[in-house]
Amino acid sequence: MAARSRRQAGLTALCLGVFATIWFSVPAADPPLRTLLVVASGAALLTALGGAAVVLRAGRAAAAMPRDRRADRRYGLIVAVEFAAAALGAVLLSVAGRVEFVPVLVCGVVGVHFVPLAPVLRDRLLVPLAVAMCLVALAGLVVGLTSSASAGLVVGTGAGLVLWGYALLALLRAARVADR
């Protein structure tokens, strides 16, 4: 069971590290912030590679354990609804001429999708992650509506930091499981 738990933590670090890297790439920024985003993107990618190493070290036994087909179907359905909502919202925002708010919408949809994923992945910490991502989306919306600052800059930076932090937390969980 410990190997499976380590593997799951490694997969979490891998996936969220990759998504953090992508979010850090969203905003257009001038130096020195651009430099910081590139460094953060590289660090998030290293975290993802650390997650991949954990998955590989967990071994074949963890990967070969029986899967919960019902949970797999629920996971697939949740992710499909997430992608459909984000795509439809992005199209509607584009048609409305508000393309600058697409990152806000996508961040909010990503945040919301973590709530139903928490029981499927048996990770209750996904709920606070959902709240953090939704707060980042809200901050981006408020900034985008009330100032000349870019909503995408706020959301890309904030979402990248939140996801990267969670990926690092997953690596720490994997290390704790390995120490037991």
CA distance 92 to 13: 32
Proportion of the chain above pLDDT 70, given as a percent: 94
pLDDT digits (tens, 9 = 90+) for 113-125: 999 999 999 999 9
Examine the pLDDT at 13 and tell me if it is beyond 60: yes
129: pLDDT confidence band, cut at 50, 70 and 90?
very high
| pTM over 0.85, yes/no | yes
What would the two tokens of residue 100 be? 């600058």
Tokens of 38: 């590139």
Model confidence at 89, in pLDDT bands (50, 70, 90)? very high
Percent of the chain with pLDDT strictly greater than 90: 85
Q: CA 80, CA 104: separation in Å to the nearest integer?
A: 19
* pLDDT band at residue 64 using 50, 70 and 90 as cut-offs: low
Helix (H, G, I), strand (E, B) or coil at 124: coil
